Amino acid sequence: MKEATTSCKGCTFAEYSEHPNTVFGASGLLFPQVQTGCRADRIDLFKVRHEAAMTVEQPYYNLSKFCNMYRGSDWVDLNGDDKDKARKEIMPLFGIAIYDHPSSTLEDLQRTIDSVLAMDYPVGKMKLVISTFDKRGVNEVSNMVNVIQETMYTSCAIFHVIDTIRIRDRDVFNKLVEAAYFVNIKAGSVLPPDIFDIIDKSQNDEVLSNVMYEGDGFSIIHKAVVNNLYLEHRDYKKMVDSVRVMSQEQKLYQKYETK
């Protein structure tokens, strides 16, 4: 699969047809077919946003942004012309960090874990880290992790001996470096079962560029933003406050509304 592209040239999902007008390339030869669509439903969206354009020198669309649905001949050789499989491949990975607190109870922690286990999203696209304390009780939390691992393949707990914000953040997010979105949720809060599906559709069907989603007791921020801004604050909570303001000003923010 091609990781990045600035055109639809060679993409298996690009649709071509005979063009009613004479179209010449740089060599002066007539192109027998010209791109007219996209089976991945991307070109119309890109065109409306002025992110795709065609020139007379080329019979395909050039793009001003990355298209993660591009699939070239190497991918087709292995997978066939399977649009549904390509769509599943681009579902983002969510790295979920549950931040426990001494004032929270085991019941609070369990409530949050249960909400993660009830997510309407592929388990292979989620990774969970529980950030807790030695005083919480290793056996109790380890039992919770064992239950999680029966459902989710990637989960663990970190028992912090020293509650230093920067060390805690580093230990947690080092476990989640592969995620496309970082999810921070307080023990006792609940993740809505459809929130990851909403973000996936927003990113990959509507092709929106929101960088932050937020609800009661949780925040979800795109990895690239975290990587760029965390060192300015060295405190995840302070960074979240900064990203909220920035993303709202740039209209890249979405608040989850309880249904």
Q: What is the pLDDT along the chain (259 residues), one digit of tens a residue?
A: 344 458 999 999 999 987 655 555 555 556 778 899 999 999 999 999 999 998 777 889 999 988 999 999 999 999 988 999 999 999 999 999 999 988 899 999 999 999 999 999 999 999 999 988 877 777 888 888 888 888 776 777 777 665 678 888 988 988 999 999 999 999 999 999 999 999 999 999 999 999 999 999 999 999 999 999 998 998 999 999 999 999 999 999 999 987 6
Q: How far is CA 14 from CA 11, 55, 59, 206, in A?
A: 6, 16, 11, 18
**CATH code of the region 91-255:** 3.90.550.10
Give the pLDDT confidence score for residue 21 in this predicted structure: 58
Could you give the count of Cα atoms lying within 13 Å of 69 in the half-sphere of its Cβ? 24
Give the pLDDT confidence score for residue 2 in this predicted structure: 40
Output the six-digit token pair for 3. 């990781």
The segment(s) of the chain belonging to CATH 3.90.550.10 are 91-255
Amino acid at 4: A
Give the pLDDT confidence score for residue 162 in this predicted structure: 56
- Distance from C-alpha of 154 to C-alpha of 120, rounded to nearest angstrom: 17
3-class SS of residue 212: strand
Give the pLDDT confidence score for residue 161 in this predicted structure: 61
Give the pLDDT confidence score for residue 29 in this predicted structure: 59
3-class SS of residue 151: coil
The whole-angstrom distance between residue 91's C-alpha and the CA centroid of its chain comes to: 7
Is the distance from CB of 207 to CB of 46 less than 8 angstroms? Answer: yes
